[in-house]
Amino acid sequence: MIDRPGLAEFLRRRREGLSPSDVGLPETSRRRTPGLRREEVAVLAGVSSDFYARLEQARGSDPSESVVAALARVLRCTPDEKDHLFRLAGVPIPSRQVGRHIDPGLRQLAAHLDGLPTCVYNELGEVLYTNALDDALHCRGELRPGRDSNLYWRWFTRPASRDRVPEADRARLSAAHVSDLRATYSRRAEDDQITELVNDLAVHSAEFRMLWDRHDVAVRRADLKDVQHPTVGLIRLRCQLLVTPETGIRMRTLLPLEGTDAAEKLELLRVIGTQQFSEAE
């Protein structure tokens, strides 16, 4: 349902917060008030000045989804502001593109965590970055494009991907993977990429089908993870996820579990490096 007062206030504040140069218009010295004029927003959005004026006056007819999208573009809304604008206008919030680009800030943060196993991946489970220690911990070779770099796909269709996980933990991790993917599916049910991934997983894995039918939904943000490494033995870790809401990209960092020898074993792995390990297939 449309929130007319909220929509009117949001539109006015966004319009007044922009300068003509922000939208490609020439600056003039004859403006009596800050920001863009209503007529300018209307022209750029492809609607009549009268229609737009009524929106800012909390009256008139409801805007269509295409009009709201045009206003979000003209008013230079961020992804979060765009979602808010759609919600105020009472129209469906469009799904965002799956993130495949790591923004500079997150990339810099990941680069500074070279002493901790770190992996960056998107909502579909596509791995975008791993550091050397994460590769050494998981005995991982070079990431290959396509499904072979997808966390969910490898877990449910490549038995060797579970070799480093103690058998007692595998069922719990399978359930966590599916509930996390179910949360993404709920947000992106109309996205062909997530639908295709879920359908393919259901075809190739009976375990996935069983867990999917349970309809458990939960975004995974923290967990405990044990890794059985062939050289240094069992490493007990705390898994912490940082999720960027704008893109859905997650950075997973593994920290030594308190009261264990995990820190010493990670340091040994960091020194050894990845040269003697190759990815098990």
pLDDT in tens, the chain (281 residues): 899 999 999 999 999 998 887 787 777 667 666 789 899 999 999 999 999 999 999 998 999 999 999 999 999 998 778 888 998 999 987 776 777 889 888 999 999 999 999 999 999 999 999 999 999 999 887 777 778 899 999 999 999 889 999 999 999 999 999 999 998 887 776 788 899 999 999 999 999 999 999 988 887 888 899 999 999 999 999 999 998 877 789 999 999 999 999 999 999 998 887 455 444 43
Q: What pLDDT is recorded for position 31?
A: 65
Sort residue 146 into left (φ over 0), alpha (ψ -120 to 50) or beta: left
Calpha distance 31→27 (Å, rounded): 9
SS3 260: coil
User: DSSP alpha helices (H): ranges in 17-127?
Assistant: 38-45, 49-56, 65-74, 79-89, 104-111
Supply 103's token pair. Answer: 């923004």
- Residue 219 phi, psi (nearest 5): -75, 125
Q: Which of 168, 281, 170, 164 is nearest to 231 (CA)?
A: 164
SS3 278: coil
Integer angstrom CA distances of residue 233 from 10, 269, 279:
57, 11, 17
Quick check: 199 and 212 in contact, CB under 8 A?
A: no
